[in-house]
Structure 1
Amino acid sequence: MAKETEIKLRISPASLATLHQHPVLAARCVAPWQTRELLNRYYDTADFALANAQVALRIRRDGEQLIQTLKSKGASVAGLSERNEWDWTLKSNRLVLSHLNDSCWPQSLAELDKKQLKAVFSTDFKRQFAELRWQRDGIETVVEVALDQGLVIAGQQQEDICEVELELRAGDPAALLELALELAADVALMPCDISKAERGYRLFNANSYSVAAAPAELSTEMPLDEAFAAIAWQLLGNSQRLAEQYRFNGHWKLLEQWLQQLVSLRALLASLGHAVPRPSSNPLRTQLDALIDDWRVRILDGADDQAVREAAPLAFANELENTRWGLFSLEMAVWLQNQAWQTKRSARGTRQGAAALQNWLLQFLKDEAQALQVHRYMRQPEDIAEQAPRLERLLVWLQAARHISGLVDSDRLFGSLRELHTLVLQPLNAENLVQRREHLASVLTLNAWKQLLR
Structure 2
Amino acid sequence: MATETEIKLRINPSDMDRLVAHPLFERYSSQQWQTRELLNAYYDTRQGDLAAAQVALRIRRDGEQFIQTLKSKGASVAGLSERNEWDWSIDEGSLVMSHLDDSCWPESLRDLDKQQLKELFRTDFTRKSIELAWTHAGVPTRVEVALDRGKVSTAAGEEEISELELELREGNPATLLELALQLAADIALMPCDISKAERGYRLLQADSFDLHIRPARLAVGQDIDSAFAALLQEQLAASQRLAEQYRHTGQWKLLQGWFDQLSGMRALLGSMGQVVPRKTSRELRLALDALLADWQPRLQAGLESRKARDEAAGLFAVELQQTRWGLFSLDLALWLHERRWQAARNKRMIRQAQAPLERWLARFLREETQALGLEAYKLKPFALGDQQPRLERVLVWLEVARHVLAAEGLDDTLGALRKLHASLMLNDMQARADCLDAIVADRGWKALMRDGS
Determine if the TM-score, normalized by the shorter chain, exceeds 0.5.
yes
Whether the aligned pair in 2 keeps the contact of 1:66 and 1:92 (CA below 8 Å) is yes
Which residue does 1:435 correspond to in 2?
A: 431
Which residue does 1:92 correspond to in 2?
A: 92
How far residue 79 of structure 1 moved from its aligned partner, in angstroms, is: 4.7
How far residue 153 of structure 1 moved from its aligned partner, in angstroms, is: 0.3
Q: Which amino acid aligns with 1:449?
A: W
Tell me if 1:386 matches 2:383: no
Task: Sort the Cα spacing of 1:21 and 1:407 in 2 relative to 1 into closer, same or farther, 3 A.
Answer: same
Q: Which amino acid aligns with 1:27?
A: R
Task: Sort the Cα spacing of 1:269 and 1:182 in 2 relative to 1 into closer, same or farther, 3 A.
Answer: same
How far residue 69 of structure 1 moved from its aligned partner, in angstroms, is: 0.2
Which residue does 1:446 correspond to in 2?
A: 442
Whether the aligned pair in 2 keeps the contact of 1:40 and 1:58 (CA below 8 Å) is yes
What is the root-mean-square deviation of aligned Cα atoms in Å? 1.2
1:186 partner SS:
coil
Q: Which amino acid aligns with 1:179?
A: L
Which residue does 2:266 correspond to in 1?
A: 266
Whether the aligned pair in 2 keeps the contact of 1:78 and 1:193 (CA below 8 Å) is no
How far residue 78 of structure 1 moved from its aligned partner, in angstroms, is: 5.7
| C-alpha separation in 1, matches of 2:340 and 2:324 | 21
How far residue 448 of structure 1 moved from its aligned partner, in angstroms, is: 1.8
Which residue does 2:341 correspond to in 1?
A: 341
Tell me if 1:16 matches 2:16: yes
| C-alpha separation in 2, matches of 1:17 and 1:156 | 31
Aligned 1:79-118 pairs, distance under 5 A = 79-118=79-118
Which residue does 2:232 correspond to in 1?
A: 232
Whether the aligned pair in 2 keeps the contact of 1:270 and 1:393 (CA below 8 Å) is yes
Moved more, 388-397 or 418-427: 418-427
Which residue does 1:73 correspond to in 2?
A: 73
Which residue does 2:167 correspond to in 1?
A: 167
How far residue 185 of structure 1 moved from its aligned partner, in angstroms, is: 0.5
How far residue 426 of structure 1 moved from its aligned partner, in angstroms, is: 1.7
Whether the aligned pair in 1 keeps the contact of 2:78 and 2:336 (CA below 8 Å) is no
1:180 partner SS:
helix
Tell me if 1:418 matches 2:418: yes
Q: Which amino acid aligns with 1:451?
A: A
Taking structure 2 as the reference length, the TM-score comes to 0.97
Whether the aligned pair in 2 keeps the contact of 1:40 and 1:61 (CA below 8 Å) is yes
How far residue 382 of structure 1 moved from its aligned partner, in angstroms, is: 2.3
Whether the aligned pair in 1 keeps the contact of 2:423 and 2:431 (CA below 8 Å) is yes
How far residue 401 of structure 1 moved from its aligned partner, in angstroms, is: 4.1
Q: Which amino acid aligns with 1:323?
A: T
Moved more, 399-408 or 224-233: 399-408
How far residue 93 of structure 1 moved from its aligned partner, in angstroms, is: 1.1
2:120 partner SS:
strand
Aligned 1:166-185 pairs, distance under 5 A = 166-185=166-185
2:424 partner SS:
helix
Whether the aligned pair in 2 keeps the contact of 1:413 and 1:449 (CA below 8 Å) is yes
| C-alpha separation in 2, matches of 1:358 and 1:273 | 16
2:304 partner SS:
coil
| C-alpha separation in 2, matches of 1:149 and 1:78 | 26
Aligned 1:35-434 pairs, distance under 5 A = 35-77=35-77, 79-427=79-427, 432-434=428-430
Q: Which amino acid aligns with 2:193?
A: D
Q: Which amino acid aligns with 2:334?
A: V
Q: Deviations over 1:49-80 (max 9, x none)?
A: 00011000000000111000000010125652
| C-alpha separation in 1, matches of 2:64 and 2:127 | 16
Give the gaps of 5 or more residues in structure 2.
Answer: none
1:214 partner SS:
coil
| C-alpha separation in 2, matches of 1:236 and 1:400 | 17
How far residue 399 of structure 1 moved from its aligned partner, in angstroms, is: 2.0
How many residue pairs match? The answer is 450
Q: Which amino acid aligns with 1:162?
A: S
| C-alpha separation in 2, matches of 1:251 and 1:400 | 28
Give the gaps of 5 or more residues in structure 1.
Answer: none
Q: Which amino acid aligns with 2:359?
A: N
Q: Deviations over 1:270-327 (max 9, x none)?
A: 0000111111111111110110111110110011211111111111111000001101
Moved more, 159-168 or 207-216: 207-216
| C-alpha separation in 2, matches of 1:30 and 1:391 | 54
Moved more, 177-186 or 9-18: 9-18
Whether the aligned pair in 2 keeps the contact of 1:9 and 1:79 (CA below 8 Å) is no
Q: Which amino acid aligns with 1:90?
A: I
| C-alpha separation in 2, matches of 1:392 and 1:120 | 44
Identity %: 54
1:343 partner SS:
helix
Whether the aligned pair in 1 keeps the contact of 2:156 and 2:204 (CA below 8 Å) is no
Task: Sort the Cα spacing of 1:20 and 1:203 in 2 relative to 1 into closer, same or farther, 3 A.
Answer: same
Whether the aligned pair in 1 keeps the contact of 2:365 and 2:449 (CA below 8 Å) is no
Whether the aligned pair in 2 keeps the contact of 1:385 and 1:425 (CA below 8 Å) is no
1:81 partner SS:
strand
Q: Which amino acid aligns with 1:288?
A: L
1:199 partner SS:
helix
| C-alpha separation in 2, matches of 1:217 and 1:348 | 26
Whether the aligned pair in 2 keeps the contact of 1:8 and 1:163 (CA below 8 Å) is yes
How far residue 137 of structure 1 moved from its aligned partner, in angstroms, is: 2.1
| C-alpha separation in 2, matches of 1:148 and 1:384 | 49
Whether the aligned pair in 2 keeps the contact of 1:122 and 1:154 (CA below 8 Å) is yes
Moved more, 122-131 or 73-82: 73-82
Whether the aligned pair in 1 keeps the contact of 2:78 and 2:334 (CA below 8 Å) is no
